[in-house]
Amino acid sequence: MGAASRKDGCLATKALLIYPEMPPTYWSMRYALPFLGCQAALPPLGLLTVAALLPADWELKLIDLNVEAVSPAEIAAADLVLISAMLVQRESFERVVAMCRTSGTPLVAGGPYPTSCHEQIEGVDHFVLGEAEVNLPPFLEDYRRGQAKRCYRDPSRPDITRTPPPRFDLVDRTRYAGAALQYSRGCPHHCEFCDIVELFGHTPRTKAPEQILDEMELLYRGGWRGSLFVVDDNFIGNRRQVRKLLPEVARWQAERGFPFTLYTEASLDLAADEALMDALVAAGFNMVFVGIETPDQATLEAVGKRQNTRMDLLDSVRAIQAKGLEVAAGFIVGFDGDRADIFDRQIRFINEAAIPTAMVGLLTALPGTRLHTRLAAEGRLLSASAGGNNTHDLDLNFTPRMDAGQLRTGYKRVLAEVYRPRRYFARCLGLILRMKPHQASVRRIRLIELRAFFYSLFRQTFSRYSLVYWSYLLRALSRRPFMAAEIVTMAVKGHHFFTITQNLLALEQFKERLGRSRQDLEARLRQALAGNAQSLAAWQRCRERLVAKARLRSTRFNPDFKVGATRAFEEFRALVEGLSHGLAFKKLETTDEH
Ligand code: SF4
């Protein structure tokens, strides 16, 4: 397909850029968004950057499926559909592929999921893998000549000082809780389980300070205010450059009265760099996400996370918090070194460190990582990739050292404990009291924050955790009234975490119950077969009763989890129907014998 395929003969290609839907995850903040009156946490920065790299005369439209739907007519009207996705968006990605196949519109796919798994993806016309700055131009050139190839994969790392600013104008800012921009790509560390180094390299590449200020100015002029995520793999990967950037950002922010509250991702060794933490705070950063992974030092060594072993972990977290930066952190269970006590140790660490936002995941062997290679060599890989979503299925894509059942049970216990409202609010209060107030706290409350506050008062007062919510609110506000925005933000995020944990655990409980019902039915069937026709009829009635009950239960799930519940129910029904067929066969055998 190429330029010749343009449907209406006009010169400019009509390109439709589609960002697939994110399933509800701990990251998505889906259940916190109504408090802010928004539909998604962040705009699709990758696609907005791709849009900026497309020819100026192309007619562009961007549809983020997290905030609006796409119709078959919109796909059919486009000359070309471009899609970018992460592994976690696979299901929605596949639905878009199917729509393109139905309409016959050529589809170009890129982003982390196609880059890692394109060999397993069907229905895509062209893959533009790796980084768009090097792979999109040759595709565009071939497309213009009507000779586009199936796959473009130049692994070289582009100089991102030449990357144009993202086309923020293509999205409606009112639909998003915050803005996003990117300063650097790549990470100097090499953790065994992480695909960042494979995707973006070992040497962090940064944009120039003027580029970042230009992007901030674009956002500012476009009316964006408030939360701004600097979407870097490791913001402090190139400290020399970051030290040059931060004073510039601080100056720009001060001149405009600090319109943005920034947050980013960085490695934990930030804690040893006082000056850098001060510079972050001065620039208006109030949160940093760090990968702690595990409190077990031997495991950190074994997985190559040595940057976390140089200082005591708790001391590191506290040093960052004391500067006025909230620490959000990632944790993983399922490492080879994990023993039975790892679950309690993770829970204890998260609570002691006062980390409200603790993203706990089951270890996944991501394609292209050192972990993936090692497990494949050890014959422990079960599938090339997992779904990348620990909130809808707890499938492991490798054989863990610990018993898989024990690992899943332990993981669920960590989630249940960490997101027990009493524990969560205790961590929030601990953090609020520990954090030094700074620039971003001492400012006028924004309208969106006021809305969130009133919505929170209404919604969380009439919740199952109302008492602990009020106790937290009163204690935190009375002791740190100037941190009202942070206090309410944490309460609102808590609602998301509690909701997703409750639904995830309910779905898992439902699946376990179905498993037990199946085993029970099998045992009863064996007994019935040894008995008479009446016991077989009683077994049939029992089976029908259990299937009806399971069907009813599967319809009572939160809409976001209903698909998973329905899938589990259908599998259960197929299995017990299989038992019935076995029974009919057995009956036949019995009749023949008579
Ligand atoms: S520090 Fe973070 S981004 Fe860097 S390799 Fe390790 S996990 Fe990946």
**Rounded percentage of the chain residues whose pLDDT exceeds 70:** 93
Is 30's C-beta closer than 6 angstroms to any atom of ligand 1? no
In a domain, 95, yes or no: yes
- Degrees to nearest 5, angle at CA 591 with 588 and 594: 150
pTM: 0.91
- Taking a C-beta distance cutoff of 8 angstroms, is the pair 138, 150 a contact? no
| Ligand 1 atom 6 nearest Cα | 191
Predicted confidence band at 580 (pLDDT cuts at 50, 70, 90)? confident
Predicted confidence band at 394 (pLDDT cuts at 50, 70, 90)? confident
Which of 346-350, 381-385, 586-590: highest mean pLDDT? 346-350
Number of H-type helices and E-type strands within the chain: 21, 14
- List the beta bridge partners of residue 362: 333
Instruction: Quickly list DSSP for 434-471.
Output: HSPP-TTTSSPPPHHHHHHHHHHHHHHHTSTTHHHHHH
Asked if 52 and 121 sit in the same domain, the reply is yes
Instruction: Average the pLDDT over each of 49-53, 60-64, 196-200, 207-211 and give the range with the smallest value.
Output: 196-200
Is 132's C-beta closer than 6 angstroms to any atom of ligand 1? no
In a domain, 470, yes or no: no
Predicted confidence band at 191 (pLDDT cuts at 50, 70, 90)? very high
What's the pLDDT score for residue 9? 42
Asked if 185 and 303 sit in the same domain, the reply is yes
In a domain, 586, yes or no: yes
Predicted confidence band at 593 (pLDDT cuts at 50, 70, 90)? very low
Mean of pLDDT values over 64-84: 98
What's the pLDDT score for residue 413? 97
Is 267's C-beta closer than 6 angstroms to any atom of ligand 1? yes
What is the atom index within ligand 1 of the atom nearest the CA of 237? Answer: 4
Is 185's C-beta closer than 6 angstroms to any atom of ligand 1? no
Asked if 295 and 424 sit in the same domain, the reply is yes
In a domain, 158, yes or no: no
Domain boundary, last residue among 413, 442, 471? 442
Is 236's C-beta closer than 6 angstroms to any atom of ligand 1? no
Q: Which domain holds residue 522?
A: 507-593
Domain boundary, last residue among 405, 423, 442? 442
- Degrees to nearest 5, angle at CA 462 with 458 and 468: 100
- 3-class secondary structure per residue, 60-112: EEEEECCCCCCCHHHHHHCCEEEEECCHHHHHHHHHHHHHHHHHCCCEEEECH
Q: Which residue among 185, 191, 197 has the greatest number of ligand 1 atoms within 8 angstroms of its CB, and so is best to mutate?
A: 191
Asked if 37 and 110 sit in the same domain, the reply is yes
Q: Report how many domains make up the chain.
A: 3
Asked if 338 and 375 sit in the same domain, the reply is yes
Asked if 248 and 364 sit in the same domain, the reply is yes
pLDDT higher than 70, residue 594 = no
Asked if 182 and 143 sit in the same domain, the reply is no
Mean of pLDDT values over 339-360: 98
pLDDT higher than 80, residue 122 = yes
What's the pLDDT score for residue 527? 87
Burial class for 284, CB neighbours closer than 10 Å (0-12, 13-18, 19+): buried
What's the pLDDT score for residue 385? 58
What's the pLDDT score for residue 474? 97
Asked if 145 and 186 sit in the same domain, the reply is no
For residue 77, the domain's CATH number is 3.40.50.280
In a domain, 194, yes or no: yes
Sign of CA dihedral 309, 311, 317, 320: negative
pLDDT higher than 90, residue 254 = yes
Asked if 111 and 221 sit in the same domain, the reply is no
pLDDT higher than 70, residue 475 = yes
Mean of pLDDT values over 507-530: 92
Q: Per residue in 523-579, pLDDT tens?
A: 988 888 888 788 888 988 999 999 999 999 999 999 999 999 999 999 999 998 888
Q: Ligand 1: distance of its center to the CA of 187 in Å?
A: 6
Mean model confidence pLDDT for the chain: 92
Domain boundary, last residue among 152, 186, 210? 152
The encoded tokens of residue 551 equal 């069907």
Mean of pLDDT values over 287-308: 96
Asked if 202 and 142 sit in the same domain, the reply is no
Of residues 7, 33, 35, the one with CA closest to residue 22: 33
In a domain, 19, yes or no: yes
pLDDT higher than 80, residue 387 = no
Q: Ligand 1: distance of its center to the CA of 265 in Å?
A: 10
Burial class for 239, CB neighbours closer than 10 Å (0-12, 13-18, 19+): middle
Q: Ligand 1: distance of its center to the CA of 359 in Å?
A: 15
What are the angstrom distances between the C-alpha of 318 and each of 267, 326, 422, 547?
Answer: 14, 10, 21, 52
In a domain, 514, yes or no: yes
Asked if 132 and 208 sit in the same domain, the reply is no
Is 291's C-beta closer than 6 angstroms to any atom of ligand 1? yes
> What is residue 394's DSSP assignment?
-
pLDDT higher than 70, residue 590 = no
Is 290's C-beta closer than 6 angstroms to any atom of ligand 1? no
In a domain, 209, yes or no: yes
What's the pLDDT score for residue 3? 43
Asked if 406 and 271 sit in the same domain, the reply is yes
Is 202's C-beta closer than 6 angstroms to any atom of ligand 1? no
